[in-house]
Amino acid sequence: MDIHLPSGFELAGVHCGIKRNPQKPDISLIVAQAPAVAAGVYTQNLVVAAPVLWDRAHTPSDTIRVVVTNSGNANACTGEQGEQDNAKMAQITAKACGCSADEVLVMSTGIIGEHLPMKKIEKGIIEAAANRKADEEHFLQAAKGILTTDKSEKIASKKISIDDREFKICGMAKGAGMIGPKMATMLGVILTDAPINKDQAQELLSDVVKRTFNRISVEGHTSTNDTVLLLSSGAEGGTQLNQDQLAELKDAVEAMCVELAKLIPADGEGASHLITIDVEGCATEEDAEKIAKTVADSALVKTAVHGGDPNWGRIVSAAGYAGVPFDASKLELILNGTLLYKSGTPVQFDEAEVSKSMKDQFETHILLKLAEGEATVRYWASDLTVEYVRFNAEYHT
């Protein structure tokens, strides 16, 4: 894919030795050539990693110069030493990039409960800072540098025109396991060169995350390190976007974040299917989201999809225990375009044909229709496989 790298950013990704494979970058730098606007949305887990505490205290801001990420070690559950190591990462990065530590945001991902190998990290940051560039190759290396159990980098990019002004947006994300956001392990960085202020950036990002990264699930486990950042260089110049223009930018950012968010459950550990869940006809969006999330997190629904079993009972019963009142006699379920359940009872359908449609396609589509109102929600999940169990039984936390 073409990468539309926003003006005003330089990037790098290098291997410093946290990961065993020397071909896999484990330090990533995103450097703004001038102070940038930054906003963040973070995990709601009460057990949080040191970099989350740091970034929460430093966003929103209009003076951020660098985002530094290490992968392979989450710096989570590491106590006071972890916080000191995080601050040291910021200081090392600041010195290497010519700014202050308070102008640096930090992200970490990987194994929890182990202290950072600071000598390796310092070496990697210095190398990355010396080799950063504003091109597609360095963007890809930076995107690879934030990965852990991911099969490949997760990237997206858009170019948009707003009132004859052209802006670029691009993003990178990581995540394949511990995905159950309340904003999952997942990291994301969105870059743009559109001129917006820090309050606009924070409001935009918070709204977008609700409908994208907060609507994905692999196993429903909310991580200690979840972080999504939005950085705006404003390097394309011109006046700050007005409300109508900001709405256009927000739509574009959301569309791109949908692409990134879907890549996470699609790459879920051991996953063989991406499940798209649409819930329609709810009284409120919150109700629709509760039902969609309950279906998405159901181990029985996930295993049915993996086995190609059009098991309507697992899906409608999950909707029923979501804690949302609705008239069950008006519930409908459509799976991969075939009606399975209507007016509170199953209908005749070709089970073999629907099963084949599930087995033959990577994506399975579940549509639940209620009769309570007009609110709708779309959610994405992965199936649950033997390989997921095997991987996480062997993975050291």
**Domains of the chain: residue spans and CATH:** 9-266 (3.60.70.12), 274-394 (3.10.20.340)
Give the pairing type, strands 363-369 and 274-282. Answer: parallel
Give the pairing type, strands 165-174 and 154-162. Answer: antiparallel
pLDDT of residue 396: 53
Q: Which residue is it, tokens 């990290």?
A: 121
Beta strands in the chain (DSSP E): 9-14, 27-42, 61-73, 104-111, 154-162, 165-174, 187-192, 216-217, 227-232, 274-282, 332-335, 338-342, 345-346, 363-369, 375-382
Per-residue pLDDT tens listing for the chain (397 residues): 788 999 999 999 999 999 999 999 999 999 999 999 999 999 888 889 999 999 999 999 999 999 999 999 999 999 999 999 999 999 999 999 999 999 999 999 988 899 999 999 999 999 999 999 999 999 999 999 999 878 889 999 999 999 999 999 999 999 765 444 443 457 999 999 999 999 999 999 999 999 999 898 876 556 677 899 999 999 988 899 999 999 999 999 999 999 999 998 887 777 899 999 999 999 999 999 999 999 999 999 999 999 999 999 999 999 999 999 999 999 999 999 999 999 999 999 999 999 999 999 999 999 999 999 999 999 999 998 888 777 667 655 4
The per-type count for the chain, helices as H runs and strands as E runs, is 11, 15
Q: For the purposes of burial, counting CB atoms within 10 Å of the CB of 260, is it exposed (0-12), middle (13-18) or buried (19 or more)? A: buried
pLDDT of residue 180: 46
78 assigned to active site: no
pLDDT of residue 183: 39
pLDDT of residue 222: 60
pLDDT of residue 242: 95
- 182 touches 161 (CB < 8 A): no
Q: How far is Cα 266 from Cα 263, in angstroms, rounded to an integer?
A: 5
Catalytic residue among 78, 148, 185, 294: 185
